[in-house]
Amino acid sequence: MTIILSAKLKQLFFRKQLIWFILSQCLFLVTINVQAKEGVNIDSLKAALDTASTDSTRLTLNYQIADYYRTQDLGQALYYGQQSLELAEEQSNNERKAKVYNLLGTVHFLKGKYVDATNYFIKALYLYEEEGKTFEAISQKNNLGLVYERRGEFQEALKYFVEIVEGVEALPEKQKNTVLSSVYLNLGSCFDGLDKLNDALKYYEKVLKLTDAKNFITNKAKALNNIGNIYLKKEEEDKAYSYFKRSLKAKEGLGTDYSVLNSLMSLSKYCIDNNKFEEAKEYLDQALEIGHHLNSPSFLKQIHELYYRFYKRQGKFEEALSQLEKLLVYADEVAKSESEEKIKNLVSDYQQEKEKREKEIRQQEERNRLYATIGLLVMVCLAAGLLYVIQRSKTKQAKMKEHQAMLKKEKLELQNDNLSKELELREKDLEMRDRELTSNVMNLVQKNELINAVSQKLADMKANLKKENQQAVRQIIYDLQTSKSDDLWDEFELRFQNVHNDFYKRLNDQFPDLTPNERKLCAFLRLNMSTKDIASVTRQSIRSIEMGRFRLRKKLGINNSESNLNTFIEQI
User: pLDDT, tens digit, for every residue of 22-44?
Assistant: 333 333 343 333 333 444 688 89
pLDDT digits (tens, 9 = 90+) for 236-245: 888 888 888 8
* Position 222 confidence tier, pLDDT thresholds 50, 70, 90: confident
Averaged pLDDT, 281-309: 88
- Which residue in 532, 529, 540 sits closest to 566, CA to CA? 529
The pLDDT value recorded for residue 552 is 93
CA 565 from chain centre, in angstroms, equals: 50
| Whether pLDDT at 351 is above 80 | no
Q: Which residue has the higher pLDDT, 216 or 15?
A: 216
What's the pLDDT score for residue 59?
Answer: 92
CA distance 394 to 194: 85
- Rounded-to-integer distance, Cα 112 and Cα 343, Å: 13
Over residues 84-94, the pLDDT tens digits come to 999 998 888 89
Query: Mean pLDDT score of the chain, rounded to an integer?
Result: 81
Tell me which residue of 225, 226, 158, 218 sits closest to 29, measured CA to CA: 218
CA 386 to chain centre: 50
Residue 258 has pLDDT above 70, yes or no: no
Q: Among 169-173, 401-405, 544-548, whose mean pLDDT is lowest?
A: 401-405
Closest CA to 323 of 268, 257, 258, 247: 268
DSSP class of residue 34 equals: P
What band does 561 get if pLDDT is binned at 50, 70 and 90? confident
The Cβ-side half-sphere exposure at 501, using a 13 Å CA radius, reads 2
Degrees (nearest 5) of the Cα angle 285, 286, 288?
65
CA distance 78 to 97: 15
Task: Say whether pTM exceeds 0.75.
Answer: no
Handedness of CA 108, 114, 269, 331 (dihedral sign): positive
Q: Report d(CA 117, CA 82) in Å as an integer.
A: 13
Indicate the residue type of 508: N
Rounded to an integer, what is the distance from CA 323 to the centroid of its chain? Answer: 53
pLDDT in tens, 98-146: 999 999 999 999 888 888 999 999 999 999 999 989 889 998 999 999 9
CA 33/CA 141 separation, integer angstroms:
17
Q: Is the pLDDT of residue 10 over 60?
A: no
pLDDT at 16: 35
Contact 249, 223 (CB under 8 A): no
Q: What is the Cα–Cα distance from 29 to 171, expressed in whole angstroms?
A: 19
| 548, containing H or E segment | helix 542-556
Whole-angstrom distance, CA of residue 168 vs CA of residue 487 = 73
pLDDT tens profile 457-502: 888 887 787 777 888 888 887 777 776 555 566 767 777 777 777 8
What is the Cα–Cα distance from 224 to 245, expressed in whole angstroms?
Answer: 9
The DSSP line for 443-509 is HHHHHHHHHHHHHHHHHHHHTTS-HHHHHHHHHHHHHHHHTS-TTHHHHHHHHHHHHSTTHHHHHHH
pLDDT digits (tens, 9 = 90+) for 374-391: 988 888 888 888 888 888
C-alpha to C-alpha distance for 122 and 524, rounded to whole angstroms: 77
3-state secondary structure of 52: coil
Amino acid at 144: L
- Residue 375 has a pLDDT of 84
Indicate the helix (H) or strand (E) that contains 75.
helix 74-88
Check residue 101 and give its pLDDT: 95
Residue-level pLDDT at 473 = 80
Q: Is the pLDDT confidence value at 4 over 50?
A: no
Q: Residue 150: helix, strand or coil by DSSP?
A: helix
Helix (H, G, I), strand (E, B) or coil at 8: helix
Percent of the chain with pLDDT over 90: 28
Q: What is the mean pLDDT of the segment spanning 51-73?
A: 90
Instruction: Give the pLDDT score at 415.
Output: 75
